Structure 1
Amino acid sequence: MNKTTFAADKNKLTVTRIFDASIDLVWRTWTEPELLDQWWAPKPWRSVTKSMDFKEGGKRHYAMVGPNEEEHWCITTYNTISRHNDFTGEDAFTDKEGKINKDFPVSEFHNRFVEESGQTVVTIVSEYDSEEHLQQVIDMGMKEGLSMAFDNLDEYIKNQFKLRNELKKNNYPRVTTYLNFPGNTEEAFTFYKSVFKAEFNGKGIQRFGDLPPEADHPPVSESVKKMVLHVELPILGGHVLMATDAPKEMGFTLNQGNNMHICLEPDTREETQRLFDELSRDGNITMPLQDMFFGSFFGECSDKYGINWMFNFKLEN
């Protein structure tokens, strides 16, 4: 495990840690509250963000909550931000309403992110008003707490954010193309695979018969069990082509025009709902948004111009 290093120089403290992940991944864990709360507090404490606006002049107001529900409130103010490079600001202790507690030191920080050979080096330089103030936070256990928090982040990265979908291991937003076939998906995607000289993602072709028997879905015939439930093929520029068989045995009727969707995979449930509501307005909802047995908040619609849209937000188990 990568260890945290500390170097004190008068009223400045420099902290360095290497994380085994891309700079984009590490940057997200520092700048998105849902991810930041997963690792920021040393166990058995937890981090709870009350509000966060990651922009220049924005603030994060959060609590470190202990095992007995005791709370220590803090606020981070963001002064400058250079995406994937660095951000600066101030850290202070506050009360629950955000009023700064002047009994504790305030620090000015500069967080830098550098990618090296697929890893990310994070360097934090914190400056206090005096050496005494720096020593005060060290005596409060700042070094130990930060080391433990970074250990949490290491573990969090190894668990791939604890999202358990084998093909899309995170909720990064993306746009893909989803195709429906009447029963010849495997034939079509074998052709596309040869054209693009690519390999299927994940376990390859998944069939209706692969669905676990306890899943909440209607039973299918033996012939349908052999059909393709889902397949993904990367083609050009990172774009992914996806498909499923839509057999008439399951009530599908495919025509030219309804066999292709633009598939949106937003990074939050709220954004999924917003996009669905906006695009379906004055259009046609073909499948309302709902939690599905395959672990997604899923729906389909065509907009007022006749364009087909699919929405897929991966749920956590």
Structure 2
Amino acid sequence: MNTNLLFDFTVNKETNTIHVKREFAANLHFVWDTWTKPELLDLWWAPKPYRTETKSMDFREGGYWHYRMIGPENDCHWCRADFEHIDTHVVFSGLDAFCDEAGTVNTDFPRSHWTNRFSENEDITTVNIVIAYQSLADLEKIVELGFKEGFTMALQNLDQYIEAQFKLRAEIKNSTKERVCTYLNFPGNTEEAFLFYRSVFKTEFTTGGIKRFGELPPSAGQPAIADAVKNMVLHVELPITANHILMGTDAPKEMGFTVTQGNNMHISLEPSSRTEAKRIFDSLSEGGNVSMPLQDMFWGAYFGSFTDKYGINWMINCLAK
């Protein structure tokens, strides 16, 4: 874990506010998603040994997030965050409170107003947080309940999640140069196929050789990779004629994949910018079938896949910020 990331926590009793300035080792789009998507918030928001479980989330101005934090003895604390203002990838704000399972606010505990502002500099995202309370007594009550310690642990959870998701980034590809590749899916015999292709084209695997599912870092809240899958191929690249790149992966049935003729090959495009990646994705997928919307992935890419209206399979994989 990167221990050099900025973490500044101050309490201002004159304005009844808590100020937190925290850096994260990921791009702004990725960090924004971890703060605004319930499936990601559930992975890190609660301090250990608690875990977060979302009941519902409507991330829009006027919407709210209703969730609970569950302890090791299955003790449960319901909370809600009501969103007031959202400027995507810049700032969002709203009211936070303890509540019950129906979402009714518990007035025995102070309600706070959060403003979370995001900025990016060279792959480091800073979140500036201002938490305001109605009175000094409310502020002091929250501090006495151990808010600083709990929030510190939650932010460390997010550090661990980011570190796990980006662990293989440099190993798989560290260049943002445009490329067009062919991506092949196999039901479990990728290694056999690529050893055959290597013998035919008399070239060598790049990006550090064959990467396997067992090398994936564990993700909080996710089941462990099955033993039968660990030695399967996660990713491999082989230059062939005219330096065209064949890429490949196993698509194991244990992970819910079914490989058939027709879905086992994609044209993989690697644009030089996120803007161009989105333009190509939106244009090519129009009238087709999107299998994975564009999103930030664990290897550091902005990635999506689809079948166009003519039945051709495409992948968009952009590493540019």
Distance 1:186 1:230, change over 3 A: farther
Alignment correspondent of 1:251? none
Give 2:59's match in structure 1, choosing from 40, 54, 57: 54
Distance 1:162 1:307, change over 3 A: same
Matching of residues 226-241 of structure 1 within 5 Å: 230-231=236-237
Which whole-Å CA distance do the structure 2 matches of 1:79 and 1:186 have between them?
60
Alignment correspondent of 2:141? 136
Alignment correspondent of 2:39? 34
Q: Which runs of 5+ in 1 are unaligned?
A: 169-175, 191-198, 208-213, 217-228, 234-239, 246-253, 265-274, 281-299, 313-317
Which whole-Å CA distance do the structure 1 matches of 2:95 and 2:29 have between them?
23
C-alpha contact (below 8 Å) 1:6/1:16 kept by paired residues: no
Which whole-Å CA distance do the structure 2 matches of 1:119 and 1:164 have between them?
15
C-alpha contact (below 8 Å) 1:87/1:111 kept by paired residues: yes
Give 1:67's match in structure 2, choosing from 66, 72, 83: 72
Size of the aligned set, in residue pairs, is 233
C-alpha contact (below 8 Å) 1:177/1:260 kept by paired residues: no
Output the amino acid matched with 2:9: T
Matching of residues 15-34 of structure 1 within 5 Å: 15-34=20-39
C-alpha contact (below 8 Å) 2:183/2:268 kept by paired residues: no
Give 2:107's match in structure 1, choosing from 96, 102, 109: 102
Output the amino acid matched with 1:231: E
C-alpha contact (below 8 Å) 1:185/1:243 kept by paired residues: no
**In terms of mean alpha carbon deviation, does 142-151 or 49-58 score higher?**
49-58
Give 2:160's match in structure 1, choosing from 134, 151, 155: 155
The Cα RMSD (Å) is 4.5
CA shift, 1:90, in A, is 0.7
Matching of residues 1-317 of structure 1 within 5 Å: 1=3, 2=5, 3-10=7-14, 11-160=16-165, 167=172, 178=182, 202-204=207-209, 230-231=236-237, 243=247, 261=266, 279=289, 306-309=310-313
Which whole-Å CA distance do the structure 1 matches of 2:228 and 2:115 have between them?
49
C-alpha contact (below 8 Å) 1:4/1:150 kept by paired residues: no
Output the amino acid matched with 2:311: I
TM-score, structure 1 length as denominator? 0.59
Q: Which has the larger radius of gyration?
A: 1
CA shift, 1:189, in A, is 11
Q: Which runs of 5+ in 2 are unaligned?
A: 174-179, 185-192, 213-226, 230-234, 250-260, 270-284, 291-304, 317-321
C-alpha contact (below 8 Å) 1:4/1:147 kept by paired residues: no
Output the amino acid matched with 1:307: G
Distance 1:102 1:205, change over 3 A: closer
Which whole-Å CA distance do the structure 1 matches of 2:197 and 2:245 have between them?
15
- The alignment-based identity, stated in percent, is 41
Output the amino acid matched with 2:12: A
TM-score, structure 2 length as denominator? 0.58
Distance 1:279 1:6, change over 3 A: same
